[in-house]
Each structure stands twice: as structure tokens, then as C-alpha cells.
Structure 1
């Protein structure tokens, strides 16, 4: 295979963008295991007290992730995230006002391989969420597994990440006075297995947990579609029914995380590697769907609201797809 190397005279700005994305990919894929290994390693060195003291802190701080986390605004505004944004680039688009006196459940679609748009738009402040939706605080839900990794749990909480369980989301949505926007990648890790360029497959047909959550708390539902999310990585073909997909599905059911075999470009060459392609991502936030509070919604209530949500998401996609390079004859596929 011929390797297409990057030119030597790449501008410094682009080098910094690449470096920012490199640290982000490393953080997403390898930082948690590294933190676990560091914690264990220190126990057998003269710095063992660091791990012991952290273990005590960890025990005391155990419930913090499920109680709103510990966002640090300074961390969300670091210049490294501006370079991450500009690498693709990533843009956040508003289509309607969101009343800061209300709480919201934002359904993010599609998951993509590394939920790039969700992290950049809702965990950092470099795409203007605070300016577009003044008075709102966004919280992105992440697999609870990652909050069991020492050191790493604190790092992800700094950005406003909270566990993707009902307890964590309910804590935010039951707060009086509003102002909280809980962002859920509805398709979850399983949807990442369908994140192929040119596809718009949304794992939603039987996903009603977030619908029930919104109804129990009377939080408005907001569909969000991230155009370009599936374009930044290639993935080994894995259609349903193949041996590879069978293995991936079973591993996901056991571990809770999916293992898409993705690839794109490298750091110094454009032919292979785990760095994403420089392709634009535009995350469009739709209009809110008013939800009547029902602590014990019936099956019929859930089905009706779920159907309405799917219709609003479809309309959002159809209205904006032409602006962001999606062919006119392409439509959302619900599975």
C-alpha cells in the first residue's frame, strides 16, 4: 500500500490541531486503563501513599458522579478544545430557543464512533453553547464503567460528564428552577457499530428509556442530529449476520462497550491510523417537545411520545440534510 505522507511545511496551527485531537483520541481510548495501571503501580513503589490517600478520597467522593459531577469551567474553556474544534471543524447550530427555567433531555444522534460532536459541543465551551442557550448547563451522559477508573473519573467529571444511569439523570432533572440539559447519546455504544460513512442509521425504534425519564420529570425533549458524525472514521464492514458483527454484539452485551474496528489517518501520513479525518461536523439542536409530567406513564403514553419524538427527529434531519452534504434521496433509518 502506498503511504501518503503529510507535507513537511504544514502550518503550526494545523500541527497544534492534530496534537489536540491526538490527546483526545488517546484520552478516549487509553487514558482510563493507563490511570488504573498507574494507581496499581504506585502501590508497589515508595509513592504508595498517593494511591492509598486517593482510595480514601475515592470512597468519600463515591456518589459525586451521580450527583451532578464536578464541572470545572476553566477546564471546559482550555485552548486545546479550540484546536480540537478547528481540526474538523465542529459547529453547533441552534434552531429554537430553550427556556433556562426548564430542564431538558437532549437526544443526541447518531452516536458515531467516538461521539465527537457530543463531547465538543456539550462538554467544552468552544462552540458557543453558553451563548446560544444562555442559562443552561449541559451534562453529557457516559457509561458508568468509566467512573470506576481512578484519576480518570475526576478528569471526565471536570468536563461535565456524568454516568448514564437513571439515578444520575434524575438528580439533574428533578432540580427546581431548571437550567439543566441532560444529553443522551440514545443509540449508545451499540449504535457505534453502524457508524459507517454515508449511513444514517439511528438505533431508536425500541429505545424508550429516555422518553420515560423525560415524562417522569416533565422535562422537555429536544432532538439533536450531528451531521458528519459518521464521516470522520472508516470502519471494517460488519453488516448484521456476519461473524464479525456477531462477535461485536456479544462482546458489547458482556462488557457494555462496543468494539468497532475503525480506522482513518495517521499523525504524519494520511493513509492509515486511528486519527479521524478532517471532515466537518455540524450538530443541529432541534426545537423542544413539551412533555407533560407523569410519574407513572402508561405504555400508551410512552408510545405516543416516542412516535412524536421520531417524527420531530426525522423532520429535523430532512430540513437540514441538504445544507450539510447529505444527498436528497437519503433518509434516516430507524432500527
Structure 2
């Protein structure tokens, strides 16, 4: 039978639908997302706005209806940073349950980090060899996992996301170059203190901001995950894009090939996070992963391993 996972992030809602594969994993049938900006403005108020909750809950309900129409007999709905932090997260969960009957499991930061890292390890050759740092940039936080020969050493979540940085520093465009430099320097310090760069090794980056930058680097008119997953993104290219986004208006960013117009207003914050992670890790390139926590959760559902606990 088909299974589905709905991942409610600070910036977007994602759905992956699949079924059990012969190798014990999952065969992905479809993978889609919609940007709803659940966490927009939350940094100042500490709460989700009524408008953000409603448009996000409606998106979850539409994904649930689609999954059921496609034959899914089990749908797992999970939430991340915005729902971990918002004082009114329970109101959102109640609205989702009312619209489509689904409960929302809010994942701890460490669990989010581990799930994302496992998705990368299972799909990128050599990801389980030597010392590897995997990071996943989101709208409200960035998750890091440190591994040695595939064994997890530590998983942690750092409160630095593309949406929250945009709200605080980059609400207007073009951006002040000094602000871009100071924000990036602050992020490097924060990531270094968290342990990034503790040991030399391979770095894998995941999340919508990473894949968006890889798509821009490739000049993709239409996103092709088969070409993005496992590709390399250099620090020189990341620096080029940081400068490009900083000097561009939101309207100019929306015209950049490879960049989703709906991500244009937060991409500078995401790019600063990616550059800071590379600087802290002391690497000149990262491997791009198009797989994230929802793909590992789908695998677990299809393998009968059950859903995670909040």
C-alpha cells in the first residue's frame, strides 16, 4: 500500500508519496512542496499569525486529500522549527486536525537532524565513509549531524533559518552589504561554537535553500532533482550568489533562472547560512542532497518501522 509524509516547515509544506520497494526501502511516486511561510513574522511575536496558520493548514489539507485520492492508507504529518517555538502551535495543530483529521507530530531538533542525515547517507555514495558533516537549512533553523564512517557522533539544531534571518535583517532589498557581512560573520561564529569544523572531512548540504542555489548554479529553467542530487556546489559559486542576491531587488531575484519566485525573498538569508556553514567547516565545496527528513520517514513507513514520537 502507498504511504505519505507531510513535512510542515517554517517556510514550506512538503509532501512525499511512495510505496515499499523490493530492496526494503521506498519507491517515491511523487514529491512536491508549496511555500506558505508559516513562520513569517514569528520572531518578533513568538506566535504564528492567523493568516500564516490558515494558509498552511489549507495546504496540509490539500496534500492529505491528494495522498488519499492516490491510494495512501497511512499519512504521517510532522512539524519542525516553527511549531517547536510558537506559543500557539497547538491552535495550528487543532486547525489541521479539523480540516483533514491528521495529527501533527512536532519533531525535536535532534530528531530532525538525524532523519535528514540518514536520508543523505542512504542516497549519496561514500556518505558513510570517514568524517562527514551533514547540514540541512530550513526556514527557522539549521540542523547539523557529525558522523564517522556512518556512525552518528552528534546531532544538533541551531536557531538560524532563512525566514527568521530575512525577518530580522533582510526585510528590504537590495540589502546593505555591511549587514550581509556582519550576519555571515555572526553565523560562522555560531556554527563554529556548535562544533562545525571540529574535524576535516566531507560536507553534505540539504534543504530547499541548498538545492535552489545548486539549480541557480546550473541555470535550470525547470528543476531536475536527478541532476541536483549528488552534485557539487562550490564556495566560489555560493559567494557569487550571495553578492547577486544582496545587490538585487526581490523582483530582480524572481527573474533569476533556477530560483523559484516564491523563494526569492528569503534566498539571501539561506545563502548566508550556507556560506557560513562552509566557512566554519573550512571546505571549498559541498555535496548537494535533494533528500531530507520526509524521505527517511517515508522509508520507515514503507518498511513498517512506525512513526517517530514527538
TM-score by length of 1: 0.28
Larger Rg: 1
TM-score by length of 2: 0.30
